[in-house]
Chains A and B, each alone.
Chain A
């Protein structure tokens, strides 16, 4: 069993829909990261969080440490949100090594 599981693997939605991507992990962590990989391959960090909730524009990330679960939400989705979204967790041993999920491929149709 992978330490980091994401669901769904693929998601297609209409422009304007509310999007939720889920991430579950099985190890103790110091922080969880959400990353976005553009169709061209580049990777950008969206959020790093260890508790609660963070918001940036139309993106919201939440984490429940007790349940070992995080969600990434996109409100008013747009075709430019089409990308692969990757969840990664940092171990609680403090060495900053990340374990990555396999990603969720999101396609937003105009």
Chain B
């Protein structure tokens, strides 16, 4: 089984709808991240969490919210989806501790907002 899973893998929704993307990990990592990837752009950080009680905005958090329900679960919500939120979304995890740690990515969620 994959260490970092994302559900759903693909989602089509309409403008104005609320949707939630879920991420679960079995790696026992404290740190979790949500990124989005758009064609021609690098991955951009939406939100990150260094433990269950810690939530931080990334560079593009407007229009998104997150919930860290447990060490293993980190959900991303789009309260009112808009077409320019169409993108590939990745969850990632890393260990705490040293200055830099390898990040482990989920398989991605492809979101289309009509």
User: Which A residues are closer than 8 A to B by beta carbons?
Assistant: 2, 4, 30-31, 33, 35, 40-45, 48, 50, 86, 88, 90, 94, 96-103
Contact = CB atoms under 8 A, between A and B. Distances in A.
A102 B104 contact: no
B45 A86 contact: no
Contacts of A99: 42
A96 B44 CA distance: 14
Contacts of B94: 96
A105 to B, nearest CB: 11
Interface residues of B, number: 22
Nearest to B105: A43
Q: Which 8 A-B pairs have the closest CB atoms?
A: A100-B42, A31-B100, A43-B105, A100-B43, A90-B100, A41-B108, A30-B99, A45-B102
Given A99-B42, A101-B42, A42 B105 contact: yes
A96 B101 contact: yes
Given A98-B45, A102-B41, A41 B88 contact: yes
A94 B104 CA distance: 18
Contact of A33 (B40, B88, B99, B103): B103
Given A96-B94, A96-B100, A102 B105 contact: no
Max chain A Cβ within 10 angstroms of own Cβ: one of B42, B100, B105: B100
B19 to A, nearest CB: 19
B40 A102 contact: yes
Given A43-B90, A90-B100, A97 B105 contact: no
